[in-house]
Structure 1
Amino acid sequence: MGRLEQGGRRALGDVGNSQDSACPVASFVLETIMSAQDIKRQLTGKFRIQRLGRVVSELTYYDTFDWRLYRNAAGLVSAPSEGSYLLSLVDLEGTTRYRMTLNSVPQFARDLPLCQAREALEKVTELRRFLPIARIERHSERIAVLDRREKIVTRLSLDRDAVLGDSTAGRLKHLRLKVEPLTGYRKEYAAIVRFLEHEAGLVRCCGSEVERVLVTAGCCPLDYTGKLIVRLEPGIRTDTASKQILVQLLNAVEANERGLRDDLDPEFLHDFRVAVRRTRSYLGQVKGVFADDLERHFRGEFAWLGKLTGPTRDLDVHLLSIAGYEAEFPKTDFELMVRHLRRRRLVSRRRLLRGLDTRRYLKLKAHWNALIGTDVDERGPKAGLPISEIAEDRIARAYSRVYKRALGLRKETPSETIHRLRIDCKRLRYLLEFFRSLCDVQQANSVIRSLKGLQDRLGLYNDLSVQQVAVREMAEELFARSGTEASVFLSMGRLIERLEARQKLVKSQLEKSISGFTGEKTAEALLELVR
């Protein structure tokens, strides 16, 4: 599929060149092409210079929708190269950590050949797709600085970048001089940097190379995150605080809708659903902000939207889960099950997209935006109360409900009760996330971490229940069709057994998670939050 070049350093991966990893790349601003010519003359008068030639590169920068590479101080860059693509994993300074030649640009980390780069990228990006975020044409003039023995001690690059694919395509956007240190020549590198700064009077570039490229191309790094980040003042009115929270949630719905419709990766649907669930949860737990009839109406509409998106998300989770059992079944049986699930997902997605194209959905967004985006005329009975008062009351009530239900959990507890506990935990976690800025951040994060451990196990227990139902439905559908081999049904039976066994194991582990959340440390931290 491709070849990997790797060398001696491990960051997000190994360096595929001879650059000194202990020294940062130095980049300097050049105002004009004339200043670049002047710098070359000054360098020639001070150092032994060898011109290495000029290179024109068309570079495409990739990241996930939620900037997972950038958040991990990395970037992914591709460049056409003789009928193939040179793919580079770089740090934010543009220094190559991995380089590989591929026949095509991968859409996901899993599309890469098996190598350390793939392993590193899969850990960071998980299920997210690589999206092109910036395209530039780079004109580089390469220069080497030599010592007395004619050995290269430092490499310099005069780079001129032009953005591609916009109204100013081809126009000069960015001019800089980059100095790359080489292993074993730190003194020489330091001397050149000192000369450029103190004698040539150049100014270091602000920010990293990847950041400069993205900003030059009109991108706004970190403009999206799946996390809810709202900063509230304790004394502000509840209706004002509520609108701040609900507007951010609506923004998340709209930000993910395009990727959901285009089916770019499963996380668009996941984040869309989370924003919808949070909105519905807020309306259900923080009552009295809007008029009663408005609250009932919008809770019902967001419940409808949640049900519309649920089946496709369940099938996404099921397809991911079943992949872990592939080695346990005959290949033909496993592939038949996967094909069937994918067909069901296709039908489910069509139903989802039809729902998003209805007037009901368009009206929901428009009317909801009108309500939370402007002053509310019909204020509810609690709209004028301080948000801190509402937050304390709701968090305390939600924790008490979770605490009592969790302590009542036994081995014989039915799945329905475990499901209700899962919902209660989710509601409490949403409240903590809504009002985190009103609390001591460290204590809030401690409670959320403890709650997340319990919630994750409860979520897995529920997913396993849903998957067992899905396999049984699949067996019934295939049974109704003639020509299905008996071995397929035997494989499905074994899969249900595996799911049931894993669910029992998860249930047995719930006690530990419950004790961690209901213990004195978590209880004390939560009481501090609501005082």
Structure 2
Amino acid sequence: MADTKREIERKYESDDSGLPDLTGVAGVADVVDKGTVDLDATYYDTSDLRLASSKVTLRRRSGGSDAGWHLKLPVAPGVRDEIHAPLSDTIPGELATLARSRVREGQLVPVVRLRTTRDVQHLIDAEGRLLAEVSVDRVRATRLFGGEGEAQWTEIEVELADGGDPAFLDKAEKRLGKAGVRPSKSPSKLARALAETHGGKPHPKEPDAGEPGTAGDHVLAYVRAQRDAIVELDPAVRLDTEEGVHDMRVATRRLRSTFRSFPKVLDRQVTDPIADELKWLAGELGVGRDLEVLAERLAASLDEVPPLLVDGPIHDRLRNWAEAGDRGSRRRLLGVLDSKRYLTLLDTLDALVAAPPLLKAAAGKPEKVLPKAVHKDFAKVTDLIETGMAQPPGTDRDHGLHEARKKAKRTRYAAEAAHPALGKPAKAMVKSMKSLQSRIGEHQDSVMARATLRELSAVAHAAGESTFTYGLLYSREEQRAAAVEAELPDAWKKAKNKARF
């Protein structure tokens, strides 16, 4: 099983003069020489360097205290998540899987070999705790595929200790700067090796869109951001990290909403089939996510019930129901992410961004084109809320408010896309629709909770168990929904007053 750690480091140029004295760095009580180690790393990528284009690295390294396979995923400048697997002759399947959203159907081959002689020092505080590891690396790079040649250089690397305060790196950098040491121009050793050896055909990059000018520019910038989010969140979903599934699902919804909100900017004859595939993906992502949210809601509600009113093994039944559903949905989701259909969708999104199906309105001024689209979506929300609330309490009202919530999301996402162009009015619309979406979402969560409680109560009754507590929870959910319905007219009135361009 691979291990994950957060790597926070900075790299600096070096002229072979060694490491400056760092005893003057604030907080450093001692600098401990840890000796020299020889590292031998082979970096893997596709023939067109798809991983390098995404600032992702996959390597097999021997030597040092962490020999093995390392997959590094970018988080922020100077921050990466490093996933480690034991040393082996072939690429570990788990790491290859985590790189799949970038690699797709490509083959991973050795592209660069780096042999490094590393002089290591530890910066220690007054209590003997490690603050950072500082190394002077003398590197020799050899191109293995897609080019030829060698390159040599020396650099200084400062890596923050696990759990350390990133502000310490600023203190170390200040001391290095006074000694004439400057930050490296390359973000990684691999990037420098590729730049300083010859040949290779990097994965085609999309042209720099520059500053958005037209309505189409703004819509495409939003589309591109959501496409990037889906690709970048893929490893998080596979690793089952907190909010990974939720965030990817939101990105798919934002894309679908954008296609439908701006039909005069992007040709729906092209985007509708893509939207259908995004709906499929969102549905698959939602199977486990919806279950998780519902299980947490029911468990929290049960915790609020006085012990004397908890009759029967309801705790066990809720837990078993949630665990069984989670196991099945997790296996299914991983199968989806490994499917040909999913990888084809990623390729299709790349093609859409590279050659967008722009219509005449795309060339228009954003302050004229974008507000019309946002207002059109907003009008649909108005109609759905008024129609839904006109229905008597029950299934028709529940369905109408659920549709209103979905349209409120679409309006919110349209306003998000328009925000860079329209400024504060669009921001106010986003805030207003988010609040409304949350409020109606509470109503829909109650609807789903009541449906589940009915099912679980029927199973409990068939097993000869008491269903009293299920009925109590059901009644409380009814009260929650009724409270939302009572507050909604005033909340909607306030939302309409705030959401103006």
Question: The TM-score by the shorter chain falls in which range?
Answer: 0.5 to 0.7
Residue 249 of structure 2 aligns with which residue?
273
Q: Tell whether the 8 Å contact from 1:237 to 1:385 is kept in structure 2 after alignment.
A: yes
| Alpha-carbon separation, structure 2, partners of 1:358 and 1:201 | 50
Could you tell me how far 1:517 is from its partner in structure 2?
A: 0.8
Deviation at 1:383, TM superposition (A): 4.2
Q: State the match for 2:445 in structure 1.
A: 463
Asked if the contact 1:407/1:514 (under 8 Å) is kept, the reply is no
What is the CA distance between 1:430 and its match in structure 2?
0.8
The aligned residue for residue 242 of structure 1 is: 219
Q: Which residue among 435, 446, 450 is the counterpart of 1:453?
A: 435
Q: Which residue of 2 aligns with 1:425?
A: 408
Residue of 270, 275, 282 corresponding to 1:299: 275
Q: Kindly tell me: are residues 322 and 349 of structure 1, through their superposed partners in 2, closer, same or farther at Cα, counting changes over 3 Å? A: same
Counterpart of 1:417 in structure 2: which amino acid? G
Q: Which residue of 1 aligns with 2:96?
A: none
1:393 paired with 2:375, answer no
- Shift, 1:235, TM fit: 4.2
Q: What runs of 5+ residues in structure 1 fail to find an aligned partner?
A: 1-28, 41-49, 60-64, 72-136, 145-154, 177-192, 219-230
The one-character-per-residue Cα deviations of 1:352-408 (angstroms, maximum 9, x if unpaired) are 333333222221221221122x234x6545444444432121112222232344456
Shift of residue 422 of structure 1? Answer: 1.1
SS of equivalent residue, structure 1 residue 494: helix
Alpha-carbon shift at residue 167 of structure 1 (Å): 11
Q: Name the CA shift for 1:35/1:232 in 2 (closer, same or farther; >3 Å).
A: closer
SS at 2:219's partner residue?
Answer: helix
Classify the secondary structure of the residue corresponding to 1:435: helix
Tell me the CA shift for residue 269 of structure 1: 0.8
How much does 1:156 deviate? Answer: 13
- Aligned 1:77-226 pairs, distance under 5 A: 139-140=122-123, 160-162=133-135, 173-174=157-158, 202=178
Instruction: Name the CA distance, whole Å, in 2 between partners of 1:282 and 1:175.
Output: 41
The Cα of 1:434 is off from its aligned counterpart by 0.8
Displacement after TM superposition at 1:161 (Å): 2.3
1:271 deviation in Å? 0.7
Change (3 A) 1:272 1:174: closer
CA contact 2:402–2:444 (8 Å) conserved in 1: yes
Check whether the contact 2:259–2:266 (CA below 8 A) recurs between aligned residues.
Answer: no
* Alignment match, 1:255: 232
Hey, what's the Cα distance between the residues in 2 that align with 1:453 and 1:433? 14
Counterparts of residues 308-319 of structure 1 (less than 5 Å): 308-319=284-295
CA distance in 2, matches of 1:275, 1:163: 41
Amino acid at match of 1:334: H
Aligned residue type for 1:302? L
Going from structure 1 to structure 2, the CA distance change for 1:205 and 1:398 (only over 3 Å counts) comes to: farther
Mapped to 2, the partners of 1:456 and 1:206 lie a distance apart of 48
Q: What do the CA deviations read for 1:47-97 (whole angstroms, capped 9, x no partner)?
A: xxx9879598x99xxxxx998xx99xxxxxxxxxxxxxxxxxxxxxxxxxx
* Alignment pair present for 1:412 and 2:389: no
| Cα distance change of structure 1 residues 448 and 54 upon mapping to structure 2, 3 Å threshold | same
Distance in 1 (CA, whole Å) between partners of 2:464 and 2:325 is 20
**Offset of residue 203 of structure 1:** 6.5
Tell me, what secondary structure is at the counterpart of 1:173? strand
Q: Structure 1 residues 326 and 389 mapped into 2: Cα distance closer, same or farther (>3 Å)?
A: same
Does residue 501 (structure 1) correspond to residue 467 (structure 2)? The answer is no
Q: CA deviation at 1:142?
A: 5.6
Q: 1:505 aligns to what SS in structure 2?
A: helix
**1:375 correspondence with 2:355:** yes
Residues 416-444 of structure 1 deviation map (CA, whole Å, 9 limit, x = unaligned): 22112212211111111011011133x33
Aligned residue type for 2:21: A
Seen in structure 2, the aligned counterparts of structure 1 residues 160 and 296 have a Cα distance that, compared at 3 Å, is closer
Matched, 1:351 2:323: no
Kept after mapping to 2: 8 A contact 1:426/1:455: yes
Q: Structure 2 counterpart of 1:468, which letter? A: R
The answer as to whether partners of 1:30 and 1:36 remain within 8 angstroms in 2 is no
Distance 1:52 1:291, change over 3 A: closer
Distance 1:397 1:205, change over 3 A: farther
**The 10-residue stretch of structure 1 (286-295 or 415-424) with the greater mean CA deviation from structure 2:** 286-295
Is the contact between residue 139 and residue 159 of structure 1 (CA under 8 Å) also seen in structure 2?
yes
**1:111 aligns to what?**
none
Residues 512, 204 of structure 1: alpha-carbon distance in 2 compared, 3 angstrom cutoff: farther
Aligned-pair CA distance for 1:343: 0.6
In structure 1, what is the equivalent of residue 107 of structure 2?
none
How far did residue 494 of structure 1 move? Answer: 2.3
Give the % identical residues. 21
CA distance in 2, matches of 1:509, 1:448: 20
- RMSD over aligned CA atoms reads 4.9
**In 2, are the aligned partners of 1:162 and 1:172 still within 8 Å (CA)?**
yes
Output the CA distance in 2 between the equivalents of 1:175 and 1:358: 38
Q: Distance in 1 between matches of 2:478 and 2:125?
A: 62
**In the aligned structure 2, how far is the partner of 1:262 from the partner of 1:143?**
37
Deviation string, structure 1 residues 140-178 (Cα, Å, up to 9, x no partner): 35679xxxxxxxxxx9999652499x999xx962399xx
Contact kept in structure 2, 1:234 and 1:387, CA below 8 Å: no
* Structure 2: runs of 5 or more not aligned: 1-12, 35-64, 67-72, 78-119, 142-154, 161-170, 191-208
Matched residues in 2 for 1:34 and 1:66: separation?
27
Secondary structure of 1:140's aligned partner: strand
Equivalent AA in structure 2 for residue 293 of structure 1:
Q
How far off is 1:479 after superposition?
5.7
Label 1:475 to 1:138 Cα distance change in 2 as closer, same or farther (>3 A). Answer: farther
Distance 1:431 1:53, change over 3 A: closer
2:278 aligned partner, one-letter code: F
Specify the code of the residue in structure 2 equivalent to 1:304. Answer: W
Q: Alpha carbons of 1:309 and 1:288: their partners in 2 closer, same or farther (altered >3 Å)? A: same
The residue matched to 1:412 in structure 2 has which SS? coil
Equivalents in 2 of 1:460, 1:471: separation in Å? 16
1:311/1:411 CA distance change after superposition, 3 Å: same
SS of the residue 2:355 aligns to: coil
Q: TM-score, normalised by structure 1?
A: 0.56
- Paired letter, 2:334: L
Q: Distance in 1 between matches of 2:364 and 2:19?
A: 64
